[in-house]
C-alpha cells in the first residue's frame, strides 16, 4: 500500500493527456486528468501498461492557447477501478520558468487562480491507495471558495446561440490550426450526423482554423470527433466533457 501526502491544493480539472514511456518508441496513449496540483496530477485511462517508478512523456492540451505543454513525470501509484486505470504522476525536471508556464496554463484552462495551486493542504489530509476500487476524485475546493471564482466563459472552440424563433440552437465548432497544422480537409463526425465521415465538411479559414455551424436540438448531449484528412481523429480541445468510447479512446461531448 502506498501513502500519498497531499502537500498542496488539488483541483479536478479535465485535460486531455497523451502519454508514453521514455524508454519506448511506441505510439502515445490517451487519458484524462482527474486532479492537478503544482507538483503533479492523476489521470484515468482505459489501458495503462506501465508500473510505479517508470517515467512517462506527457502532453497536456490547453485549448485557450491552441497548444500543448510537454512534461516528464514519474508514476507514483497505479490502481484499477471499474473498467479504467487511475494513476498518480509526480512532475520531474521542471525549472522555475517551465513550472510557471505549466501552472499558468492550468489556471487559465480551469479558471482557478494560480496562487490557489500554491496553497498548502493540512498535514492530516492523506489519501491511501491499495488494490481496492477507488471512488471518483472529488474537487479539492470548498463551496465557499467556488462562489468566489468568476463565472466560467464559453468553452473555446464551441459557441452556442439559442434561437428565440425556433427550438434549435446554433452551435459553432472551431478546430484550431495547431490541432491540424497541415490539414487539407476536416469533417466533424458525431451523433448529429449518424457518425457519417463525409456528411459535414468544415470550412478552412485564412487563419488555418476549421469551423462549421450546426443547428442542434436543445436538451441533448451530442458525442463527436474531428476527422482530419480522412485518416486521423482529433478531439475538441475543450468540449463540455469527454466520455470513453468502445475503441479505447474518448469522445468529445457538447451539451445543448
Same fold, 2-147 and 158-255: no
Give the per-residue pLDDT at 184.
Answer: 93
Give the per-residue pLDDT at 121.
Answer: 61
Give the per-residue pLDDT at 178.
Answer: 77
| Average pLDDT, integer, range 194-221 | 93
32, three cell numbers: 484524462
Express each pLDDT in 33-56 by its tens digit: 878 888 999 888 877 888 888 999
Express each pLDDT in 55-113 by its tens digit: 999 998 875 556 788 899 999 998 887 667 889 999 998 888 888 888 888 888 777 88
Class for the domain spanning 158-255 = mainly beta
Chain mean position to CA 244:
12
Class for the domain spanning 2-147 = mainly beta
Segments making up each domain of the chain, as ranges: 2-147, 158-255
pLDDT confidence band for 147 (50 / 70 / 90): very low
Is the C-alpha dihedral spanning 57, 62, 63, 68 positive or negative?
negative
Q: What are the phi and psi torsion angles at 212 (to 5°)?
A: -160, 150
Q: 32-46, 124-138, 195-209, 215-229 — which is least confidently predicted?
A: 124-138
Q: What is the pTM of this model?
A: 0.53
Q: Are strands 84-92 and 40-45 parallel, antiparallel or unpaired?
A: antiparallel
Amino acid at each position: 500500500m502506498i501513502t500519498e501526502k497531499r502537500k498542496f491544493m488539488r483541483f479536478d480539472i479535465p485535460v486531455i493527456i497523451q502519454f508514453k514511456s521514455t524508454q519506448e518508441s511506441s505510439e502515445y496513449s490517451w487519458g484524462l486528468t482527474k486532479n492537478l496540483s503544482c507538483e503533479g496530477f492523476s489521470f484515468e485511462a482505459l489501458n495503462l501498461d506501465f508500473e510505479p517508478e517508470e517515467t512517462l512523456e506527457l502532453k497536456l492540451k490547453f485549448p485557450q492557447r491552441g497548444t500543448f505543454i510537454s512534461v516528464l513525470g514519474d508514476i507514483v501509484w497505479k490502481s484499477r477501478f471499474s473498467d479504467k486505470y487511475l494513476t498518480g504522476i509526480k512532475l520531474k525536471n521542471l525549472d522555475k520558468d517551465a513550472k510557471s508556464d505549466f501552472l499558468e496554463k492550468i489556471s487559465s484552462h480551469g479558471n482557478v487562480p494560480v496562487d490557489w495551486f500554491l496553497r498548502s493542504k493540512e498535514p492530516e489530509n492523506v489519501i491511501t491507495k491499495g488494490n481496492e476500487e477507488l471512488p471518483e476524485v472529488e474537487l479539492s475546493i470548498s463551496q465557499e471558495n467556488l462562489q468566489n471564482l468568476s463565472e466560467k466563459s464559453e468553452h473555446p472552440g464551441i459557441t452556442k446561440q439559442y434561437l428565440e424563433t425556433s427550438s434549435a440552437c446554433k452551435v459553432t465548432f472551431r478546430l484550431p490550426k495547431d490541432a491540424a497544422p497541415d490539414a487539407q480537409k476536416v469533417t466533424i463526425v458525431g451523433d448529429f450526423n449518424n457518425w457519417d465521415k463525409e456528411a459535414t465538411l468544415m470550412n478552412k479559414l485564412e487563419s488555418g482554423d476549421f469551423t462549421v455551424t450546426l443547428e442542434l436540438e436543445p436538451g441533448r448531449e451530442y458525442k463527436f470527433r474531428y476527422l482530419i484528412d480522412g485518416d486521423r481523429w482529433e478531439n475538441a480541445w475543450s468540449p463540455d466533457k469527454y466520455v470513453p468510447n468502445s475503441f479505447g479512446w474518448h469522445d468529445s461531448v457538447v451539451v445543448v
